[in-house]
Structures are given as C-alpha cells and as structure tokens.
Amino acid sequence: MNNQFELTEQPLQPTLSIRTNTSVDKLPQEIGKAYHAIMAYLNEIGEEPSDVPFVAYYNLDMDNLDVEMGFPVSKNISGKGEIKPNAIPAGKKVSCMYKGPYKEMGPVYEAMTQWIHQNGYVPSGVAYEFYYNAPADVPESELLTKIVFPLK
C-alpha cells in the first residue's frame, strides 16, 4: 500500500449537513437521502456547495454509526428542518487520497492512525471522507475518496 499523507492547517469551513445514527448497512441510503435533501435546499435558496460532499464519522460502531452528511458552503447559511448549519473546525489535519472500493479503506485508516501516533499527533476522534465521484458514475476501482483526520 502506497499512502501519501499530507499534513495541512485548514481554516474553519462552513457546512450544511444532516446528522443521524444508522447502521453501516443503511448508510448508503441515508447518505443519498441527505445529499438529495441538502442539494434541493441549496437550489431552493440559490446557493451551491463550495466543494465535494462529505461524511463525518463521530464513531466507528458499525451497528450504530453517528454520522454527519453534508456539503461545504462558502458562507454561513441557515438550515431548514433536519438540515443544520455547521462547520468543519479549523486546525491541523492529516489527509490521504484513496482510490478504490469503500469497503477496502480499512488499511488506509489503520496506516493513517499509525502515522499520526508515530509523528506525535493526537486525532480529534472524528474522521471525514470527501467523495470526488460516486459508485453510480464510475467503477468501484476508480472511486476517489479523501480521508481527513482533524488533529488536537
């Protein structure tokens, strides 16, 4: 595995998102519903995402995932219903661009966690995945996902 990890300092990034608890089996449907609802709302108010969609994982309990699904936006935008304004915190982050099936990301997470500890950093406990394409558009082997760990 040839992982390239990048350490960056990022500013606060406003988002619009939906946070929920779900099982890993239901995650694709929940992500689809959330992205559709947020895009419909952005279209309704004449706004656009400022970057690709993301999912923030607040835990890795596959039976009861605590996830936040959404889009970065260029400014603070008020929410509507279950769509809430939020932000990806400012600070140091380590990231890695992964190419391949979602179900094979485990070793990348392990390698990133090891790299973080070996370099004297502490992860914040949240992991972000940014999706540059989708399974409906490309073969699984071509999926591009940026994995980001904010650091304390």
Q: What is the pLDDT along the chain (152 residues), one digit of tens a residue?
A: 457 999 999 999 999 999 999 999 999 999 999 999 999 999 999 999 999 999 999 998 889 999 999 999 999 999 999 999 999 999 999 999 999 999 999 999 999 999 999 999 999 999 999 999 998 899 999 999 999 999 99
The domain locations on the chain are 6-150
Q: Which helix or strand (DSSP H or E) is residue 37 part of?
A: helix 27-44
CA distances from 25 to 9, 49, 93, 143 (A): 34, 27, 28, 19
DSSP secondary structure of 28-97:
HHHHHHHHHHHHHHHHHTT---SS--EEEES---TTSEEEEEEEE-SS----BTTBEEEEEPPEEEEEEE
pLDDT given for residue 13 in this prediction? 97
pLDDT given for residue 2 in this prediction? 58
pLDDT given for residue 19 in this prediction? 98
In CATH, which of 3.20.20.140, 3.20.80.10, 3.40.50.300, 3.40.50.10490 is domain 6-150?
A: 3.20.80.10
- Give pTM, 2 decimals: 0.94
C-alpha triplet 98, 103, 82: angle, nearest 5°: 90
